[in-house]
Amino acid sequence: MPIFGTSILSFIPGWTAEGGTFAIQKAAEYGFDMLEISLPSSLDFDAIATKMQLDEHGIQGRLSLNLPKASHIPLYPENALALITKALDKVGEMEGDFLGGVLHSAIGTFTGKQCTVDERVIIRQVFTELAVYAKKQNITLAIEPINRYESYVFTAAHEVLQMIEEIDTINIGLHLDTFHMNIEELNFYDPVIAAGNRLKHVHITESDRGMTGEGNVHWDDFFKALAKINYQGPLVLENFSSEITALVGSTSLWRPSKYNSEDLAKGSLLFMKQKVALWYNENQLIQ
């Protein structure tokens, strides 16, 4: 069965030592198996202390990173390489084996044009080097395509999968997010099937970032595909409540949320468990 996780954004707007303690406590209290920690771009993060806290509360931890503007790979490949390398070191310090997130570009940085062949060459070179470095620590990188309003680099699953094939490495995978899929993919089934065992991480997010099951995401198609490839990795809740006021601007929560953060987290966790129980059991019966 997949692992049921949530992002720190269910509880706090960004990582701090104090906020992290709160997020770890709440994730465990609400019944999650795992907490995804979005690293600050400063990498001001005590990996060893955090691992101890996660262990004390009986939950797993995974790290992710979204590149800042100064590390947008097509413009600043050296900065990006240095930053992601340091983030991989943080994963190693936490005894982890994974780094995901928007690792291909800085959210909100655009040229006004499509990603060029030359830019893709630069991106591929950076990830070729990162794959070698990550392999030394037995770490898998997973790249998250995001929607066209937030990036012009990788916006769909097939673009990431194509680069993985070009690099020809087993420690770079795909990180899917149903919010972005709802905008960019033709459906929720085919990208998952195309990814197969290269799918390493999943963000579970409704089309309006609200309660799962109340929006436009075709959840049955998505979970049917996950069961078909026998995905056993994390399903990480990433929806937001305007109750956490510091998230309003960064996540465009211009209308008050229907749910507070606790109800949103607990309700979505139940929804994920129900869909997994339905489709994974159905797939076993078919086989």
Sign for the pseudo-dihedral over CA of 207, 163, 1, 60: negative
Q: CB–CB of 161/191 below 8 Å? A: no
Sign for the pseudo-dihedral over CA of 163, 112, 101, 81: positive
What DSSP designation does 142 have?
E
To the query of whether residue 282 is one of the catalytic residues in this protein, the response is no
- Cβ within 8 Å of residue 25, ≥6 positions away: 57
Compute the radius of gyration of the chain from its Cα atoms: 18
Cα angle 134, 45, 144 (rounded to 5 degrees) comes to: 50
Element (H, E) at 183: helix 178-184
Q: Distance (Å, rounded) from C-alpha 146 to C-alpha 177?
A: 8
Per the rule left: phi > 0, alpha: psi between -120 and 50, beta: everything else, 209 is left
- Cβ within 8 Å of residue 120, ≥6 positions away: 163
Helix (H, G, I), strand (E, B) or coil at 224: helix
What DSSP designation does 116 have?
P
Catalytic position from the list 150, 185, 206, 238 = 238
| Residues pairing with 5 in the sheet | 34, 236
Catalytic position from the list 36, 119, 144, 184 = 144
To the query of whether residue 95 is one of the catalytic residues in this protein, the response is no
Q: Which residue numbers are catalytic?
A: 144, 238
